[in-house]
Structures are given as structure tokens and as C-alpha cells.
């Protein structure tokens, strides 16, 4: 199998790049020249995984099939997991795929390319903390779905237990940890509203953060507002607290033991260990080191998003965010259009921070918007911030299914929620 451009990983960045390239090249050329590979058959925008985990977003309804996206956007798609890469001969190997009974569905395959993009995202970083097997992570849709199943079982157990209490510990108070805690409070509230008084139970959420404040990467004002909002919802915010060990029923921390029925690890990211096998330059977090043209140490091989380490403002790295993956996808679109036309795309990639928005549940958000002509930093909160937060998700949908379909999808989901409720209990 040979394609001019092979994109491995159809997440926030890779899928947008494939869709934009396919549409620009048109039906025949796009399908012949662009191949997207993903280990999953369907796409979910990763920033919504905390909603899937809390049961407030249905993964099966939200997920979009890559095959259909490929047909609509004029690129080719194949299901597969990257297993090997030979930069010199411009060839990559995909693992054999097996069904649940261990029977081979697709044998191992090789794909050759002129140019390739690694857009395979990242996973969790436990920083060597013992007991990682006791914690849930939110790396892929099935992690979030697994957590949701366990959460529902834990809800039921708590409702019928004499203690009438469920404890959840979330390690890491970045956007993922903060948003998950707010979403869990909402899910619990929605469930309580439908239970008889004898089945109602308390949900105790502890957010454990080693740094001095929550949302450490964002301006202090956002962190203060979010702390107040979480504390109002009775979330226990433990800053300056280092987790020493994860146990089946709680955490050992520098501030004592935190008992918990469910534990989620949302502290720090690390790219896959297998990234070290491909002979490319990587950093300590196993990300591929790229230059200001997003090219890895091998010519013709690019990387974007969470799996790429790209210098920003001299001494920092472009943050692992959906907006960075999106900007890098837009940049690589121009690079490839130039390469296909045998031109050189001269400008280097420059990341622009447009600010950050964090969802705090029930129509509340908080964040900052950067830039504009004045280059000033605006603080937004409440419903406006929540709407802006939701518009990021819609923008991603617009990039992969078009404007009209995005409106139809949004309306369909809104109507479904009105009829069936927000919480997915089955």
C-alpha cells in the first residue's frame, strides 16, 4: 500500500488535517493520495472524555465513524495500530488485528509513503507512583466508558449501602481533573433528583494536586474562581498534596490518607513508550522533537499535537491542547499543499495562545481569552464562558463534518437530551 501522505492518528489534529487535505484535493486525488490510520474505528474529540466518564455524554452517539468521515471528506482510512517505522525507507508497519476470540482479522501490513505525520497523542504520566493499576485514566473512549460503568455500579452500591456515601478521588487539578469533578457533581445531582429519599447518598469528591493551586497552567484569577466554584459544590480541593501511593481503596498522600471508592489519575501526560523505538529524536516525555516546520529528526516525517515537542517562546513547549493540535494541522495543510505543488512553504510554525476555557458544569465556565488587536487578556466567566467552551467542540465538528451537519448534530443531541435526560444510565 502506498500513499503520498500518511497521517497516523485521527484525533483532534490528525483527523482535521486529513479532512482539510481531502477536501482541498477533491474526491479522486484526495482518496488516492491521503491515508489516515487510527487504532480505533470511530472518533471522539478527546476534550469530551470527562463527560463520557461521568455519563453526561453518550460515547456511541457522540462517536463518528472514520470510514464515513473519510467518504465525506475524500481521504482514505484504514484501521490499524502503528507498530514500526523505518524513516530511511519511508515505510511503516501496522500490527496484526485480532478479534475478541484471538482470531486474526487483518494480518500485519506495511504502508509506504512520501511524507508522513505522527499524530498519535499521549497517555498518562504516573511519575513512578506505585499502585497505578488501581486508578482509572481518561486516555481513550473505552477508558472513559469503563469508568462510567464502574461509576454506575458504585452509584447503585452507595444508594443501597447503610453509609449512603460514595468517595471519588481525582489526582491532578488541571483542566481534566477540574472538569471531571464538576461533571461528576452534575451527574450525581441528576441521579439524586430521580431517586426516592431513602436511596439518596452523598458524593464526596477530593481533588488532589501537588502544585500550590488548581489549574496551575492558567492565570491565577481563573484558578481562584474555579476553586470557589468547586468548593461551593462541596468538592474537597487539596493543593500542595503529593500522592505517594495509590491503593485499591484510597490514596496515601503527604497530607494523610484519602479514602476513595474510585480513583482517577489526571496528573500529567506522557507519550507512548513505543515512540522510542522508531529511531527519532524524543524528549523525556517520549514526545517526538520537531523543528519550527514540525518536522521530526527524519526528513519528510512530521509530528503534531500531544506527541510532538515543539519549542514555543524560546524556553517553553507548545502546550498539549486541542487548540495547539488544530493550529498545527492548519499549518501542515499549507506545507503539504506546497509540497504537492512542488513549492516550499517558507513560513515557520508559530503557536498563538488564544486563551483557555474550563467547564465548571451547570452552565458555568471560566477562562481567559488572549489576543485580539490589543493583545490583551480578557477574563470570561459564567454562561458566556460555558458557551464559548462549547463552541470549541462545535468548531472541531465543523472542521470534520461541515457547518450544516454540525448544526444538525447539535440539534439532534439537544432534542435527545430533552427527551431522555442528560445522564446515560444504561
Ligand X SMILES: Cc1cc2nc3c(=O)[nH]c(=O)nc-3n(C[C@H](O)[C@H](O)[C@H](O)COP(=O)(O)OP(=O)(O)OC[C@H]3O[C@@H](n4cnc5c(N)ncnc54)[C@H](O)[C@@H]3O)c2cc1C
In the region spanning residues 134 to 163, those forming contacts with ligand X, defined by CB under 6 A, are 138
Contact flags string 218-257 toward ligand X, x per CB under 6 A: ----------------------------------------
- Is position 399 an interface residue for ligand X (rule: CB under 6 A)? no
- Is position 121 an interface residue for ligand X (rule: CB under 6 A)? yes
The CB-of-389 to ligand X minimum distance in angstroms stands at: 7
- Is position 59 an interface residue for ligand X (rule: CB under 6 A)? no
- Is position 13 an interface residue for ligand X (rule: CB under 6 A)? yes
Q: What is the 3-state secondary structure (H, E, C) of the chain?
A: CEEEEEEECCCCCHHHHHHHHHHHHCHHHHHHHEEEEECCCEECCHHHHHHHHHCCCCHHHHCEEHHHHHHHHCCEEEECCEEEEECCCCEEEECCEECCCCCEEECCEEEEEEEEEECCCCEECCCCCCCHHHCECCCCHHHHHHHHHHHHHHHHHHHCCCCCEEEEEEECCCHHHHHHHHHHHHHHHHHHHCCCHHHCCEEEEEEECCCCCCCCCCCHHHHHHHHHHHHHCCCEEECCCCEEEEECCEEEECCEEEECCEEEECCCEECCHHHHHHCCCECCCCCEEECCCCECCCCCEEECHHHEEEEECCCEECCCCHHHHHHHHHHHHHHHHHHHCCCCCCCCCCCCCCEEEEECCCCCEEEEEEECCCCEEEEEEHHHHHHHHHHHHHHHHHHHHCHHHHHHHHHHHHHHHHHHCCCCCC
The CB-of-180 to ligand X minimum distance in angstroms stands at: 7
How many amino acids of this chain bind ligand X (CB under 6 A)? 31
In the region spanning residues 82 to 101, those forming contacts with ligand X, defined by CB under 6 A, are 82
- CB under 6 A: which stretch of 44-52, 84-92, 287-295, 398-406 binds ligand X? 44-52
Contact flags string 345-374 toward ligand X, x per CB under 6 A: ------------------------------
- CB under 6 A: which stretch of 6-14, 184-192, 235-243, 292-300 binds ligand X? 6-14
Among 5, 7, 8, 184, binds ligand X (CB under 6 A): 8
Residue nearest to ligand X (CB): 11
Question: Would you say 124 or 129 has its CB closer to ligand X?
Answer: 124
The CB-of-120 to ligand X minimum distance in angstroms stands at: 4
Among 175, 214, 318, 332, binds ligand X (CB under 6 A): 175
Among 33, 50, 74, 148, binds ligand X (CB under 6 A): 50
- Is position 172 an interface residue for ligand X (rule: CB under 6 A)? no
Q: Rule CB under 6 A: which residues touch ligand X?
A: 8-14, 37-40, 46-47, 49-50, 81-82, 119-121, 138, 175-176, 305-307, 320-323, 325
Amino acid at each position: 500500500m502506498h500513499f503520498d501522505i500518511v497521517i497516523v492518528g485521527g484525533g483532534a489534529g490528525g483527523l482535521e488535517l486529513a479532512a482539510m487535505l481531502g477536501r482541498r484535493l477533491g474526491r479522486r486525488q484526495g482518496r488516492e493520495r491521503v491515508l489516515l490510520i487510527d487504532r480505533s474505528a470511530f472518533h471522539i474529540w478527546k476534550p469530551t472524555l470527562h463527560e463520557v466518564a461521568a455519563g453526561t455524554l453518550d460515547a456511541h452517539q457522540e462517536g463518528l465513524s472514520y470510514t464515513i468521515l473519510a467518504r465525506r471528506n475524500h481521504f482514505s482510512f484504514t484501521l490499524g495500530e502503528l507498530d514500526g517505522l523505518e524513516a530511511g525507507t519511508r515505510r511503516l508497519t501496522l500490527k496484526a488485528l485480532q478479534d475478541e476470540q484471538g482470531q486474526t482479522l487483518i494480518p500485519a501490513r506495511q504502508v509506504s509513503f512520501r511524507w508522513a505525520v505522527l499524530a498519535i497523542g499521549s497517555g498518562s504520566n504516573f511519575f513512578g507512583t506505585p499502585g497505578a493499576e488501581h486508578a482509572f485514566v481518561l486516555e481513550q473512549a473505552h477508558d472513559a466508558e469503563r469508568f462510567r460503568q464502574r461509576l454506575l455500579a458504585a452509584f447503585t452500591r452507595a444508594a443501597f449501602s447503610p453509609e449512603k456515601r460514595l468517595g471519588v478521588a481525582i489526582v491532578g487539578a488541571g483542566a481534566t481533573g477540574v472538569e471531571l469533578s464538576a461533571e461528576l457533581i452534575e451527574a450525581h445531582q441528576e441521579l439524586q433528583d430521580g431517586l426516592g429519599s431513602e436511596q439518596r447518598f452523598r458524593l464526596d469528591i477530593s481533588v488532589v494536586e501537588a502544585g500550590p493551586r488548581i489549574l496551575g497552567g492558567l492565570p491565577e484569577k481563573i484558578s481562584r474562581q474555579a476553586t470557589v466554584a468547586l468548593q461551593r459544590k462541596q468538592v474537597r480541593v487539596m493543593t500542595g498534596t503529593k500522592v505517594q501511593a495509590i491503593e485499591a481503596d484510597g490514596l496515601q498522600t503527604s497530607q494523610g490518607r484519602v479514602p476513595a471508592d474510585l480513583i482517577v489519575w489526571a496528573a500529567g501526560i506522557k507519550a507512548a513508550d513505543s515512540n522510542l523505538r522508531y529511531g527519532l529524536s524524543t524528549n523525556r516525555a517520549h514526545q517526538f522533537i520537531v523543528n519550527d516546520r514540525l518536522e521530526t529528526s527524519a526528513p519528510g516525517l512530521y509530528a503534531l499535537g500531544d506527541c510532538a515537542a515543539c519549542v514555543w517562546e524560546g524556553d517553553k513547549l507548545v502546550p498539549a491542547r486541542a487548540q495547539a493540535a488544530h493550529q498545527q494541522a492548519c499549518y501542515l495543510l499549507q506545507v503539504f499543499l506546497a509540497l504537492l505543488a512542488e513549492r516550499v512553504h517558507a513560513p515557520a510554525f508559530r503557536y498563538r495562545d488564544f486563551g483557555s476555557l474550563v467547564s465548571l458544569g451547570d452552565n458555568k465556565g471560566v477562562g481567559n481569552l488572549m489576543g485580539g488587536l490589543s493583545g490583551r487578556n480578557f477574563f470570561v466567566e459564567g454562561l458566556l464562558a460555558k458557551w464559548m467552551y462549547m463552541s470549541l467542540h462545535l468548531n472541531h465538528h465543523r472542521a470534520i463534518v461541515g457547518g450544516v451537519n454540525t448544526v444538525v448534530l447539535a440539534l439532534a443531541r439537544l432534542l435527545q437530551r430533552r427527551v431522555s435526560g442528560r445522564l446515560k444510565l444504561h
